[in-house]
């Protein structure tokens, strides 16, 4: 049976891999809408190749180019933030949200509020507005399926009917490209160095987050929002091979894990086909070739971003939103060559110290807090600009 599918962030890493799965089984999917931020060329090509009905570009200045490229295809188009929200609100069976950063919050909420089945690869939605998102899903009946490999792994082995039987959730981390480096040795690393992930192929922002371990910190906060367990039942272990994607420990001492090759098409396919499973082209695990699985505790002194995320998660309220906003500003500045690698955690720490946190009750409040934190973080960047 064919399912209608919308992909928010269709030209990024996750969106492109989702479209690869669509192309391999076109009879399963009718693509309703695709969106991109600025890549009108890639968006038009993807919309034409997948037979999408609607394409939306976040940068309104690129709309004319998008329409020119779609001329004669019958594909409708729109531009600007409102058009992205329009794409999310269209009646697709499944919405895969893969927009990077807090920019994905409003369109994701638009899809949740109409009760869609959601494949969420935008972790910032749960980090910034977890309680708001959960309440909206409860009202609309939306199904929230995590696409991040770690949360997807937990989802597959978590006892949703009896969460009280869970004693610990263990998120695995590869450790990133600087796992064995001293803090001093990380001082002058380049953007290219930070983006050389040893296992996964990802976009620049998430690659840098993996290098600082902030990505794992954001995933911790998201896990706290996704699964009904306390903060004291969450843990992180460094696992360089990235074969075990996460684990759930039960009160009897049993540990259930989801394993697989490091191919994002596995969790993407799980969310797109849920509650069924479909074949993917991902390589199968060769346990003899893997040979050994290694684990080590994360070093919070060398990677303070993870410690900052732990603190923000425990503080709750708007603290995770402030953390995320500051990190987005700092990482963007690092990628632009304006900050050193070790300045990222300094900007985040200073912003958390200067922006008061409190309860969050609505999307408007989240947006306001996000803006305030970005303003403070931008000042911190200016003070450290190279």
Q: What is the model's pLDDT at position 78?
A: 97
- The string of pLDDT tens digits covering residues 357-376 is 999 888 889 989 999 999 99
| C-alpha–C-alpha distance, residues 215 and 251, integer Å | 28
Q: What is the domain count for the chain? A: 1
Strands 117-120 and 166-173: unpaired
- 82 belongs to a structural domain: yes
| C-alpha–C-alpha distance, residues 156 and 152, integer Å | 6
**Per-residue pLDDT at 203 exceeds 90:** no
Handedness of CA 30, 143, 116, 264 (dihedral sign): negative
- 115 belongs to a structural domain: yes
- 111 belongs to a structural domain: yes
- 116 belongs to a structural domain: yes
pTM given for the model: 0.89
Residue 196 — pLDDT band, cuts 50, 70, 90?
A: confident
Cβ-contact 92, 102 below 8 angstroms:
no
Looking at every residue in the chain, the average pLDDT score rounds to: 93
**Per-residue pLDDT at 235 exceeds 90:** yes
Q: What is the model's pLDDT at position 202?
A: 73
- The string of pLDDT tens digits covering residues 253-301 is 999 999 999 899 999 999 999 999 999 999 999 999 988 999 999 999 9
**Per-residue pLDDT at 1 exceeds 70:** no
Q: What is the model's pLDDT at position 122?
A: 82
- 281 belongs to a structural domain: no
Residue of higher predicted confidence among 186 and 196: 186
Whose CA is closest to 370, among 326, 305, 311?
A: 326
- The string of pLDDT tens digits covering residues 141-176 is 999 999 989 999 999 999 999 999 999 999 999 999
Domain that holds residue 113: 3-146
* 47: CATH: 3.40.50.720
- 252 belongs to a structural domain: no
């Amino acid at each position: 049976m064919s399912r209608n599918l919308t992909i928010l962030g269709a030209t990024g890493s996750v969106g492109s891999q989702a479209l690869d799965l669509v192309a391999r089984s076109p009879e399963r999917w009718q693509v309703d809408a695709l969106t991109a931020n600025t890549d009108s060329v890639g968006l038009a090509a993807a919309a034409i190749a997948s037979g999408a009905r609607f394409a939306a570009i976040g940068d309104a200045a690129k709309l004319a180019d998008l329409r020119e490229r779609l001329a004669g295809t019958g594909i409708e188009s729109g531009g600007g933030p409102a058009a992205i929200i329009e794409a999310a609100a269209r009646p697709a069976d499944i919405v895969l949200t893969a927009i990077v950063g807090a920019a994905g919050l409003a369109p994701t909420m638009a899809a949740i509020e109409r009760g869609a089945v959601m494949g969420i690869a935008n972790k910032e939605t749960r980090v910034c507005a977890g309680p708001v998102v959960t309440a909206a899903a409860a009202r609309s009946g939306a199904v929230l399926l995590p696409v991040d490999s770690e949360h997807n792994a937990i989802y597959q082995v978590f006892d949703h009917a009896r969460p009280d039987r869970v004693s610990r959730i263990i998120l695995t981390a590869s450790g990133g490209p600087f796992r064995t480096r001293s803090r001093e040795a990380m001082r002058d690393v380049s953007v290219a160095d930070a983006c050389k992930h040893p296992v996964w192929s990802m976009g620049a922002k998430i690659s840098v987050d993996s290098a600082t371990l902030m990505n794992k910190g954001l995933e911790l906060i998201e896990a706290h929002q996704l699964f009904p367990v306390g903060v004291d039942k969450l843990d992180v272990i460094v696992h360089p091979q990235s074969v075990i994607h996460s684990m759930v420990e039960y009160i009897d001492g049993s540990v259930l894990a989801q394993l697989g090759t490091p191919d994002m098409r596995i969790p993407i396919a799980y969310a797109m086909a849920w509650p069924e499973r479909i074949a993917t082209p991902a390589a199968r695990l060769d346990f003899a070739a893997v040979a050994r699985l290694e684990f080590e505790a994360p070093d919070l002194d060398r990677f303070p971003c993870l410690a900052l995320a732990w603190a923000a998660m425990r503080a709750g309220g708007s603290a995770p939103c402030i953390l995320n906003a500051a990190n987005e500003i700092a990482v963007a500045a690092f990628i632009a060559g304006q900050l050193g690698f070790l300045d990222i955690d300094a900007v985040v720490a200073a912003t958390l110290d200067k922006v008061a946190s409190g309860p969050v009750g609505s999307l408007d409040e989240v947006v306001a807090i996000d803006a305030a934190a970005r303003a403070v973080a931008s000042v911190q960047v200016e003070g450290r600009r190279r």
